[in-house]
Amino acid sequence: MKRLVLMVEGDGDIEAVKRLAAQSLERFCPDWRSFFFIDDHPMRVGDVCSLLSPKEEIKLVRHVGAVGKKSDIGGVLVLLDGDADSFLKQSDDGKGTVKVDFCPATTAFYMSDLVKKHARAGQTFSFAVVFVNREFESWFLAGHPDFAADYADRDLEEHPRNAKGEIKRYDPRYNEAIDQSKYVGDLDLDLLLKRMRSFRRFKHALEEIYQSIQTGQFICSPIQAIGQSSQ
């Protein structure tokens, strides 16, 4: 039986993302438990800036490389907030760093390419990265019955920038480390699919990993199309 390892940004995401991944797989890939299980301990890896910081060894490569050595690994799924403005990456000549604007698509291409080249992702296990636009709580505003109606006419992929703050307007005692998993349990996944492009990407990533483990044809996702630039 293969293992799916989740990598998340903060402490509050650990239980919430594990729960959301399981709920989504039950909904969209109902026989998934026949092929793999979700590791009980998602890895807290920090935000995209720290994960890609070009030090002696990039944290993303180190984390994925270490997980990839496990004999039963089937896939790694990274889910991060997409609220960064920019991040540092190694220059093309390898002698310095450059600051690049954050874009969910091109940053995901860059990350996928890194682990494919340096952590053997796509060879013996699958890898996928997804950015929530803009914060994990944005999905609550879009798909939770306590909030969704009030935000029906808002483009939540762009606004509000501070989704956590919006949640606290309704629930002043909201604590992401405690409450995220609770809110995940009541999400309307079909409504999320309609409203949030980033959730459609999450669903697609889970389906890609499911199919790759089922067939043994491992992948790195997203796959960069010919002619696209990864920053």
Higher pLDDT, 154 or 229: 154
CB count within 10 Å of CB 103 equals: 15
Write down the pLDDT at residue 23.
98
Residues comprising the chain, all counted = 231
pLDDT in tens, 112-131: 999 999 999 999 999 999 99
Residue 155: burial class (beta carbons within 10 Å; 0-12, 13-18, 19+): exposed
Q: Among all chains, which residue has been given the structure tokens 């790195």? A: 220
Question: Cis peptide leading into 134, omega within 30 of 0?
Answer: yes
pLDDT in tens, 180-194: 999 999 999 999 999
Strand pairing report for 97-101 and 43-44? unpaired
Distance CA 69, CA 174 (A): 38
For the whole prediction, is pTM greater than 0.85?
A: yes
